Amino acid sequence: MESTAILKTKLEAQFSNESVACVLEYDQVTMELPAEHLLSVCAVLRDDEQFSFTQLSDLCGVDYSTYGQVDWATQETTSTGFSRGRESLNKTESDESKRFAVVYHLLSIKNNIRLRLRCFVSDEPPRIASVTEIWNSANWFEREAFDLFGILFEGHPDLRRILTDYGFIGHPFRKDFPLEGNVEVRYDAEKERVVYEPVTITNRVLVPRVIREDNRFVNPEEEQSDA
């Protein structure tokens, strides 16, 4: 099995002219590259013997528009506070264009190692080349990312929705899409068909309850000092 550190070194040497950036975290390499170099880089990753990433395990979209924002923050539940959001990022003006990204997870069976690719797409609608000609498994993955995020994969042989209903408006995984949706569906017995109606539920953010004093949470060292 090839080490991730060696893989990172090989990638940086091979793609020194493609403006790629490689990061090694949690024993996995993430390579970020410009979208215009995606197809040429992926072809090398698949065909070059030193890489041999012959399998695309997964592909997904990401919306970073609310990355780092917090729905609620409280100092009442624990001594350090608790937040459902990740620590905020110090975004620059150039980062504001990096709202959508496509992430690819590759597997080299020959070298028994994985690689993560990430490409940011900043147009509206976001566009990026399809990798279906390189890995056939990208077909349904790209349709899913198009359906849920509205990312257009240029060159895809059959780019249409795969999870949402016929005539669905919007892309559910975009952060500006209402969590409760825009319409709800039910079967109307009188009309004997499925009908669409404005959504009737209201979204609300739940704040955790305060943790009461309980012997299950007593620190044994504090208990001994009190005695």
Tokens of 107: 């597997």
Domain borders along the chain are: 4-64+99-171
CA distances from 160 to 142, 157, 166, 183 (A): 9, 10, 10, 21
> Which residue type does 226 have?
D
Report helix, strand or coil for 44: helix
Helices first, then strands: H and E counts in the chain: 4, 11
pLDDT average, residue stretch 9-37 = 93
> What pLDDT, on a 0 to 100 scale, did the predictor assign at position 124?
85
Question: Per-residue pLDDT for 83 more than 90?
Answer: no
Question: Per-residue pLDDT for 11 more than 80?
Answer: yes
Contact between residue 53 and residue 11 where contact means Cβ atoms under 8 Å apart: no
Q: What is the bridge-based pairing of β-strands 183-188 and 193-198?
A: antiparallel
pLDDT average, residue stretch 129-135 = 97
> What pLDDT, on a 0 to 100 scale, did the predictor assign at position 86?
53
Contact between residue 117 and residue 139 where contact means Cβ atoms under 8 Å apart: no
On whether the 4-64+99-171 domain is CATH 1.10.15.40, my answer is: no
Report helix, strand or coil for 13: helix
User: Using one digit for the tens of pLDDT, what is the confidence trace for 90-109?
Assistant: 555 456 678 999 999 999 99
User: CA torsion 7→13→15→21, rounded to 10°?
Assistant: 70
> What pLDDT, on a 0 to 100 scale, did the predictor assign at position 106?
97
Q: What gap in Å lies between CA 216 and CA 86, rounded to an integer?
A: 28
CB neighbourhood size of 117 (10 A): 23
